[in-house]
Amino acid sequence: MKKVFFILGISVAFLTACGGGSNKPADADSASSSNNSAVAQQTNAANDTSANKIGTDSNSGTTGNKGEELMAAADCNTCHNAESKVIGPALVDIAKKYKESDVETLAKKVIAGGSGNWGTVPMTAHPDLSLDDAKEMVKYILTVK
């Protein structure tokens, strides 16, 4: 019985973190997305470990890659990992599937959110993210091998 509640709890957490396929109006989705983004940023900051800082500059704590830094500051790491599938696909899998010519299309998908390319779990929209920042993030993702 405990196992069933554990699995149910994990499922609810995953769906909540990635939008859960809600049928709310677009305005509610935008507000919800902003709130989810803020919570995820706080969670990412609290969970920052030395494993997340591999390859950083020891003086500044930054990686020197704008896209990677933007992803670390956003909620991306809540659903994505560099090497393995979490809720969303692994960054290496994204890099294998897409080309540099797909940067603008992918950046627009990051901003708009959606589902279907990697399964049924929707990616949360990021309407407050600028197109230029989204492009930097996508450029970084496409370099992860």
Q: C-alpha angle 61/40/141, rounded to 5°?
A: 60
- In the chain, which ranges are continuous DSSP H helix? 2-17, 26-46, 66-73, 76-79, 91-97, 103-112, 131-141
123 is in an annotated binding site: yes
126 is in an annotated binding site: no
3-state secondary structure of 101: helix
76 is in an annotated binding site: yes
Known binding residues for heme c: 76, 80, 123
